[in-house]
Amino acid sequence: MRRLLKLALQKPELAATLLLLLMVLFFQVRSGGVFLDYNNLRGILGFLPEMALVAIGVTLLMIAGEFDLSVGSVFALSPMTMAVLMVAGWSFWPAFLVALLACVVVGLLNGWLTIWFDIPSFITTLGMMFMARSMTVVVSGGFPPRLDFELIPEHLFVAYVGPGEMFRASFLWLVAIAVIVGMLLSRTNFGNWVRATGGFLPAAQAMGIPTHRVKLACFVICSVLAGLAGIIQVLRLGSPLPSLGMGYELQAVSAAVIGGTSLSGGIGSIIGGIIGATLIRVIDNGMVMSQIDGTWFQFAVGALTIFAVVGNAWLRKRGRAMKVETDPK
Amino acid sequence: MRLKGLALVATLLSGTSALAQEPLDIVFTVHSGASNTFWQAVQKGFEDGCTKLAANCQMVYVQTDGSVQEQVANMEAAIARNPDALLTSIVDNNAFDDVIKRARDAGIIVIASNVDDLEGAAGNARQAFIGQGFVPAGYSLAQAQWKNMPAEGDLHILVGVSAPGQNWSEQRALGVTNFLDEQIAANPDRKITYEKIDSGTDLATVGDRVGAYLSANPNTNAYFDTGFWHAAVGRVLADRGVEPGKVLLGGFDLVPEVLEQMKAGYVQVQVDQQPYMQGFMPVMQVYLAKTVGLAPADIDTGQGIVTPDMVDAIMELSAKGLR
């Protein structure tokens, strides 16, 4: 039992899960039992896939040892491209594919500039963050186009599904993508390459791992997931605003770190990133439920986020320090 | 009379010909990022005004929304170019004082647009303010929405401060709460309460936060947003199967998603500050100041209350980028 507990505490995503449960319990009590109310839960689960999809991409890229600060801007660029094309008379699917293709181009550019010019991805993607945001304004002419929702198969993305219509279809997208990327990371050679590339690059290169292609693929996956998440949000909210996704890049990095992803690469898990994103949404939502004064709101969110990371680190440390009996031989 | 008319035409023509030789150079620095939809209408007005005068104009946004230091740096850079006029939004009561004074000392016309110092003309050396009075606008919004509130019984109202600490958002909220305080005093027999939250400036976040608040406080009768982000709350209410009008929604500025929620019945009242005018009119004032020596003057671009019956007409103007 003690051995199991030690193993569990050492797993960063499990420590984050424990913290998430603790937070849910705290807010449930603090809000007088309405935090887990049907409508509120439905609201959280509606927003979560959008944040979590971005977090999955960023987590994968961080495991490969790189950052992407342009995800917030790509989050806006992709649906804006789709909306502009649809207003120009394109049907949904071609516009959708071109929008995702634009994300592929951004991902390739991020990767190519980072790898071939050997500059930190922090800088490359910071530049791309501004460029992609500007492109969003340029393609829309500054005024958000109006989407004709009769031409959009909303049911595939944002319609309510599942028991009691608790989830949106976007949640199924999240589950499917999380499983695919999770399997990719844990069950395939590509996953091993990603961890090796992010863990110790010279060794990975010496072993013949195509590290450049691995990183490039991670940049592209990260961008495409951010773009898909942006499209889902626009289909949910109905407005392709150029300001969508601002600040999401930092939230995604926070989610990955809270979920146990190492800032220096090589370590992390997809489920950890998702739990991190959930924790951020729960804190934000729970603070409103707890009727925190508006002027203290950001302080409280920040303090709880730090608490979450510190708590996570502490639990892992306790797990490592925990002594267990070894089997007698 | 005819002679007077001819003299005026001659004056304007001579002004125009002077301009033709040396076009006006006008810089507009704002506190917003380029991706804020509202500012695109201001920019359109600014550019249309500049096109009419063949002026050399530049609109300068900040990279980080609301960053005062970036805006001041942009103003410094603009002054170094010695333009004819500097237009700017004054979102802080002190940070811009020095840079505006130096611009004026250098002979540059300075006009505030969209947001002004809380002390008005006494706050710094700017020559005029063209925009909305935020406190009165908040007051007008609450007053207009009050007519839709239940005439009897308890009332609980939520006020979303979109950007705590920023003049425009705090003042609009103050206008709303001023009106509510008056109603609380005027109706001692009714329990009228309100609460303020940090609602955010992102549709998804505002929808989530206000949605959470409504779950925790189902007795909420109305929500006031200090921006246009309550459009997302309309979506949340529709998703929850809440009928339009059960939770009253109102806010500021006309953007397509708000107009759509007004058509759907979820948003009852909106205050329009005519952003196109905030871009266009300062340019005209600079022209008049430079050509015929008229002093720039304050213009209140409006606290126009927009209701759902006006939406179709406004949507046409919105499509042209005029509102």
Distance from CA of A214 to the nearest CA of B (A): 32
Residues ≥6 apart with Cβ < 8 Å to B218: none
Q: What is the token pair recorded at A176?
A: 């499917």
| Residue B217 pLDDT class (50, 70, 90 cuts) | very high
- The one-letter code for the residue type at A275 is I
Per DSSP, which regions of chain A are E strands?
A: 160-161, 167-168
Q: At what angle do helices A121-140 and A92-116 cross, to 10 degrees?
A: 150
Residues ≥6 apart with Cβ < 8 Å to B285: B111, B128, B130, B294, B296, B297
Contacts of B236 in chain A (CB under 8 A): 43
Which one of B208, B242, B255, B312 would you mutate to disrupt binding with A, by most A Cβ within 10 Å of its Cβ?
B208
Partner residue facing A233 (CB), from B63, B204, B257: B204
More confidently predicted of B221 and A23: B221
Q: What is the token pair recorded at A208?
A: 């013949």
Q: What single DSSP character describes residue B294?
A: P
Q: Do A243 and B36 touch (CB under 8 A)?
A: yes
Q: What is the token pair recorded at B139?
A: 């007051």
pLDDT for B33-62, tens place per residue?
Answer: 888 878 888 999 999 999 999 999 999 998
Q: How confident is the prediction along chain A (329 residues), in pLDDT tens digits per residue?
A: 777 777 777 777 777 888 899 889 999 998 888 899 888 899 899 999 999 999 999 999 999 999 999 999 999 999 999 999 999 999 999 999 999 999 999 999 999 999 999 999 999 999 999 999 999 988 887 777 888 888 899 889 999 998 888 899 999 999 999 999 999 999 999 999 999 999 999 999 999 999 999 999 999 999 999 999 999 999 998 888 888 898 899 989 989 988 888 888 998 999 999 999 998 889 888 888 877 766 676 777 778 778 777 877 787 788 778 777 665 54
Give all domains of chain B, ordered by start, each with its CATH number. 2-132+274-302 (3.40.50.2300), 135-272 (3.40.50.2300)
Per DSSP, which regions of chain B are E strands?
A: 25-29, 56-60, 85-88, 109-114, 128-131, 155-161, 192-198, 222-225, 248-252, 267-272, 299-300, 304-306
Coarse DSSP helix, strand, coil percentages of chain B, rounded to the nearest 5 percent? 50, 20, 35
pLDDT for B192-210, tens place per residue?
Answer: 999 999 999 889 999 999 9
Q: Do A39 and B43 touch (CB under 8 A)?
A: no
pLDDT for B86-129, tens place per residue?
Answer: 999 998 888 899 999 999 999 999 999 998 888 888 889 999 99
- Long-range (24+ apart) CB contacts under 8 A made by B262-268 are B262/B306, B262/B307, B262/B308, B262/B311, B263/B308, B263/B311, B264/B234, B264/B238, B265/B308, B266/B233, B266/B234, B266/B237, B266/B238, B267/B230, B267/B231, B267/B234, B267/B308, B268/B145, B268/B148, B268/B307, B268/B308
Q: Tell me if residue A157 falls in helix, strand or coil.
A: coil
Residues ≥6 apart with Cβ < 8 Å to B44: A142, B276, B279, B321, B322
CATH of A11-320, one of 1.10.10, 3.40.50, 1.10.3470, 1.10.287: 1.10.3470
Contacts of A239 in chain B (CB under 8 A): 203, 231, 256-257
Partner residue facing A289 (CB), from B44, B204, B212: B212
Q: Where exactly are the structural domains of chain A?
A: 11-320
- Nearest Cα residue in chain B from A51: B204
Round to whole Å and give the CA distance between B207 and B225. 11
Partner residue facing B197 (CB), from A76, A242, A297: A297
Distance from CA of A320 to the nearest CA of B (A): 38
Q: Which of B65-69, B180-184, B246-250, B304-308 has the lowest mean pLDDT?
A: B65-69
Q: Report pLDDT for A305.
A: 74
Check whether B282 has a pLDDT greater than 70: yes
Q: Do B207 and A39 touch (CB under 8 A)?
A: no
Contact predicate B155/B149, CB 8 Å: yes
